[in-house]
Amino acid sequence: DAGVIQSPRHEVTEMGQEVTLRCKPISGHNSLFWYRQTMMRGLELLIYFNNNVPIDDSGMPEDRFSAKMPNASFSTLKIQPSEPRDSAVYFCASSSLDRGNQPQHFGDGTRLSIL
């Protein structure tokens, strides 16, 4: 059973460039979450989707960040333009609301470095 799949695993780019992170949730899960993790701020929820619809994006730091979920098996998190302070590990997680209180399953993350 494949888990949550994220790509790329690592991304190093110069500030000002557009960055796109990708996520494939576990098949059958209808909720998807994007998190950012840094040493200073810990794990922060950026945005989450239920049935492909964005429910709460209050965690998105600013307009440079955007997320989409065009179908049940794919989501992207885009940063344009990127800044050095965006450097962090970005996690995608999925869960199934239909089965009641189910834990979130995390992908391995994308380690993003903005130079």
Q: Do the beta carbons of residue 33 and residue 101 sit within 8 Å? A: no
By CB under 8 A, residue 43 contacts other proteins: yes
Of 14-22, 66-74, 77-85, 91-99, the segment contacting other proteins by CB under 8 A is 91-99
The region, left, alpha or beta by phi > 0 then psi within -120 to 50, assigned to residue 70 is alpha
Cα angle at 56 between 13 and 48, to 5 degrees?
Answer: 60
Instruction: State the Cα–Cα distance between residues 64 and 112, nearest whole angstrom.
Output: 15
**Binding residues among 60-79 for other proteins as defined by CB under 8 A:** none
By CB under 8 A, residue 104 contacts other proteins: yes
Distances in whole angstroms, Cα of residue 83 to Cα of each of 29, 40, 43, 110 = 32, 17, 19, 16
Of 19-27, 37-45, 69-77, 78-86, the segment contacting other proteins by CB under 8 A is 37-45
Smallest gap from Cβ 80 to other proteins, in A, equals 25
Among 7, 22, 45, 64, binds other proteins (CB under 8 A): 45
For binding to other proteins (CB under 8 A), which residues are involved? 31, 33, 42-43, 45, 48, 50, 55-56, 91, 95, 97, 101, 103-109
